[in-house]
Amino acid sequence: MIKKEKMPFAIGIAFVAFTTQFGGGFASGAQIYQYFINYGVWALVMPFVAQGLLALFFWYGMRYAYANRTYDYRAFSDHFYGRYRGIFSNLYEVIYLMMICLAPAVAFATGGATLNMLTGIPYLFCTLIIGVAIFFITMYGTNVVRKVASTLSVFIITALVIVLVPNIIAQWDAIVEAIKNLQQGIMPAASNQDGSFLSALWRAIIYFVFQLASVGLMYQHVKPLTSEKQIDKSMIYMFIVNASCMILAVFGLLAVAYEPEIQSASVPMLVLVQTGVGSMFLTPLISVLIVLGAVSTGVNMIAGLVVRIVDGIERKENDAEKADKNRGKRNTVAALLVTMGTFGIAQFGLIPLIAKGYAYLGYATLVVVAIPFALHFIKNGMKPAKRENA
């Protein structure tokens, strides 16, 4: 198991930023396909644009949190929005809850779609299996899941490299041919886009802004830092790692971009490994890691919302003895209700959730976070604020 305390702070923060963005949805290939490859040849450029914007805005938010010692998202919002905090702080609360609900639903859908493709078991039953696993782990294994989250993400990255690099090498001719088709305006099999620069740019921006919703999770990690330079380095590392993983996935999926099976595939990465080299070994490997990544994401998000609900109830009661007595029961009920809610959302299917659900989250984040950050940047320049005295 990887121990975060032995990592340099900059690398540790970059690693946390990676885990907030790349889970089962990315490992499945669905996000890459929906937000980049579907938009033509610009898929070779837009991952760098999206990750560059994300690193810049994460950097600005974390620098502000460091300067003003606002280590949770509510404290940050109240300080950052100032006289407008009554509107924007509460709007960000809504966005945060949207993200908390949507991410587990995508986890359900990712794990369910993967099991469905592998076993042929109906999608509804597959998502039910994932839901039961998430519920029980949330109740009994949350601490364990959090401790191994970093190690699991390293496994996902390693598995992606093991899956993608041999397939990219073996299917390089198909990838080159796909790029030629894209340059000629011949769109991938599942795309209904025209390949224009503006549509690709807008989609990359939407990807960036819905990922920006998770910036509130990052503020707590600047608390132990001793220098702004650590934040600078962490965001450089984040950009390099995230952009590299995305462009590697783009090249791999281009190998199957014109395959007929891709039109109905909920998990494009499985199409790649099943039609490529080493499918006997790589198919179960990527499948297990997609499911584990989906379950881990679901557990962490649902556990966070459960804690938020239970703590809110206990604060209203203001009775420590009663809170201790009822906490276990409340955790169970809250976990069950949240799991059932996200299970219901997952029935919309993986592709609609990623294509539309995250898009709506992106629109909301654009108004509440991205535009205010940009205006604040224009007004204050590269220095978000001077660090206040303790």
**pLDDT the model gives residue 130:** 80
**pLDDT the model gives residue 307:** 65
**pLDDT the model gives residue 344:** 77
**pLDDT the model gives residue 254:** 95
> Which superfamily does 9-380 belong to?
Amino acid/polyamine transporter I (1.20.1740.10)
Q: Average pLDDT by consecutive 10-residue portion of the chain (390 residues)?
A: 58 76 76 91 96 95 91 86 92 84 73 78 82 74 51 73 90 94 91 92 93 85 86 93 92 92 81 84 80 71 70 72 74 81 70 68 91 90 57
What is the full DSSP assignment across 174-235?
HHHHHHHHHHTT---TT------HHHHHHHHHHHHHHHHGGGGGTGGGGTT---HHHHHHHH
Question: Model pTM?
Answer: 0.80
User: Pick from 218, 149, 296: which is nearest to 9 by CA?
Assistant: 218
**pLDDT the model gives residue 64:** 92
- What contacts 24+ positions apart, CB below 8 Å, involve 369-373? 369/57, 369/92, 369/95, 369/209, 369/212, 369/213, 369/215, 370/57, 370/208, 370/209, 370/212, 372/80, 372/81, 372/88, 373/57, 373/60, 373/61
**pLDDT the model gives residue 145:** 46
**pLDDT the model gives residue 348:** 66
